[in-house]
Structure 1
Amino acid sequence: MAVNEVSPHLSGPSPVVLQEKEPIEISTQEIAASPLGSSDGIFAHEGGHLLVQSPYTEEEHLLDLRTLDAENALLARALARMRSLRPDYATAPYTETFNWNEIIEELTRLVRTHGHNWKETSFFIVAFRSQIPPTTEYEDLGALDEVAHAEAIASGGFLKYWFGHPDKEGRNLATCVWRSQEDARKGGVGPGHRKAAAATRSLYSHWKIDRHRLIIRDDVQSWEIIDWE
């Protein structure tokens, strides 16, 4: 599953526009020089501000931290540690599928390291559950997905993209974390995304989209993932 495959959800309810924030206060040099170094996917070239946020590592697929405010840049950093905790991620409850506690612990560490006063922020999450028939060539999905991902990165606010591999029944999960629902909507209007969406009926035997809200409260004192309403 992939970014292009989540496009059907982008024509849903009117987007929620989150409150605008001041530009990021911590410098890109400071972010790049933090204790994790390159282990969290930050590229050292061009000032260390390009972050690997998906399985794609070419430059057009990298997240430019300079385009984000502090909350979003720091969460993007922490999401570099995102991993599945269980092999049945295709069908397991979303909140039990990933290492969210570890991600929030890393976010807390980064906030403390940079001396940032974290303000409550909500993020938009999409979970795409799918099933492909034996006739679908997985390489075809990958080619469509890669183009759509580059478009989504260019549109802005795309913090994290993770996808698994189909199980023996062809079931899979992919998930995206966005700065806002409006960013997700913008990320799904490009020609590559539309082409991928058009191929959904022929490439999948079943698909379902779930939307969640990640809320991280002041000073990262608490957090929760709830259904998006």
Structure 2
Amino acid sequence: MSLTFTHPPHPSERLQRSSPLTLAIHGTEETAKDPHAFPTFDDQSFMIPQSPVLYLPPLLSSLPERLQLPPLTSSDSPPLVTETRLPDIDPASLSLHKALHHFRPIVSNYAATPYKEAFNWSNLRLPKDEEREWYCVVFRSKRTPGSDGGSLYDADKKAHDEAIRNGGLILYWYGIPNQETGMNLATCIWQSRRHAIAANSRPHHIQAMKLAAQSYEIYHLERYILRKVAGEGGVTIQPYQSGEVGW
């Protein structure tokens, strides 16, 4: 199960520049980015990434499709709406959404680091009375040198928007390929495993997966449970074994 919108360039294709990852790890990026802004999908954003991307789907979107607005009268102006719909979200997931605004890697070589050691999980704090589990998917990848990702960029953009419309996506983060190995890491956090599986079955995601098979030399998936227990303020990461996660 995966979302596929991350395309690490081969090290030989990267421009020489100071490492933005060091700035990102220490929370001192040169330019503050809106984590709710839809990521840019083009050859520049993926072939020559300037910094890791943290994307938290905005919760202030159009109403869910199941909630119909009253019919407009002739004197009414049509309301301005976003392209994506507001998903259902529970209080604990909303607390996690807020905490994840501070989500960041704590090591530079996160693509080769165990998931629970690569990010600042210990700094994420939620209300102690809340209890919840969320479903995480990790993508470790290396792009095939010289592969043409043009059609994949477009497919990824559509798959990303499709996933947001599907609902349940709390976070999407992708990093910068390691300059020596070319390996990269991306991750998604979902309200539930069912949300992730539903997004996987959408047509744009299926098309993106087919194209990804032609563009990657290495592509590994890992699955985890992000757990918050009542009485504790922090969260833990555990490997996913089986069964449903979240709701």
**TM-score bucket (shorter structure):** 0.5 to 0.7
CA contact (8 A) 1:134 1:170 kept: no
Identical aligned residues as a percent: 29
Q: Computing the radius of gyration over CA atoms, which structure comes out larger, 1 or 2? A: 2
Aligned equivalents of 1:135, 1:166: Cα separation in 2: 15
| Equivalent residues in 2 for 1:69-108, closer than 5 Å | 69-102=90-123, 104-105=124-125, 107=126
Q: Which has the higher helix share?
A: 1
User: Equivalent residue for 2:147?
Assistant: 136
| Structure 2 residue matching 1:127: 3-state secondary structure | strand
* Structure 1 equivalent of residue 195 of structure 2: 183
How do 1:164-203 and structure 2 match up within 5 A?
164-168=175-179, 169-203=181-215
1:53 to 51, 56, 63: 56
Residues 10-29 of structure 1: per-residue CA shift (max 9 Å, x gap): xxxxxxxxxxxxxxxxxxxx
In the alignment, which of 212, 215, 224 is matched to residue 212 of structure 1?
Answer: 224
Cα distance in structure 1, aligned partners of 2:188 and 2:134: 10
Q: State the partner residue of 1:120.
A: 131
Measured in 1, the distance between the counterparts of 2:232 and 2:34 equals 20
Paired with 1:69 and 1:162, the residues of 2 have a C-alpha distance of: 21
Q: In the alignment, residue 209 of structure 1 is paired with which amino acid? A: L
CA RMSD of aligned residues (A): 2.9
Alpha-carbon distance, 1:128 to partner: 0.7
Distance 1:80 1:138, change over 3 A: farther
> Contact between 1:4 and 1:188, CA under 8 Å: does it hold in 2?
no
1:135-179 alpha-carbon deviations (Å, 9 max, x no partner): 124555443322111111111111100011222332111100001
Do the aligned partners of residues 73 and 139 (structure 1) sit closer, same or farther apart at CA in structure 2, a change above 3 Å counting?
A: farther
Decide whether the 8 Å contact of 1:5 with 1:200 is kept in 2.
Answer: no
- After superposition, the Cα gap between the structure-2 partners of 1:218 and 1:171, relative to the gap in structure 1 and judged at 3 Å, is same
Letter of the 1:92 counterpart? T
Work out whether residues 142 and 217 of structure 2, in 8 Å CA contact, stay in contact via their aligned partners in 1: yes
Gaps of 5+ in 2: 7-32, 38-54, 62-81, 242-247
- Say which SS state the counterpart of residue 95 (structure 1) adopts: helix
Match of 1:67 among 85, 88, 92: 88
| Matching of residues 139-158 of structure 1 within 5 Å | 140-158=151-169
2:122 and 2:34 map into 1 onto residues whose CA distance is 17
Q: How many residues align?
A: 174
User: Does the 8 Å CA contact 1:4/1:192 hold for their aligned counterparts?
Assistant: no
The separation in 2 between residues aligned to 1:143 and 1:215, in whole angstroms, is 34
In structure 1, what is the equivalent of residue 20 of structure 2?
A: none
With over 3 angstroms needed to count, the CA separation of the structure-2 counterparts of 1:92 and 1:137, relative to structure 1, is farther
Q: 1:83 Cα deviation (Å)?
A: 1.1
TM-score after normalising by structure 2 = 0.62
Q: Which runs of 5 or more residues in structure 1 are unaligned? A: 7-38, 44-51, 112-116
Cα distance between partner residues in 2 of 1:139 and 1:165? 19
CA contact (8 A) 2:172 2:186 kept: yes
Cα gap change, 1:151/1:170 in structure 2, threshold over 3 Å: closer, same or farther? same
**Partner letter of residue 4 of structure 1?**
T
Residue identity matched to 2:121: W
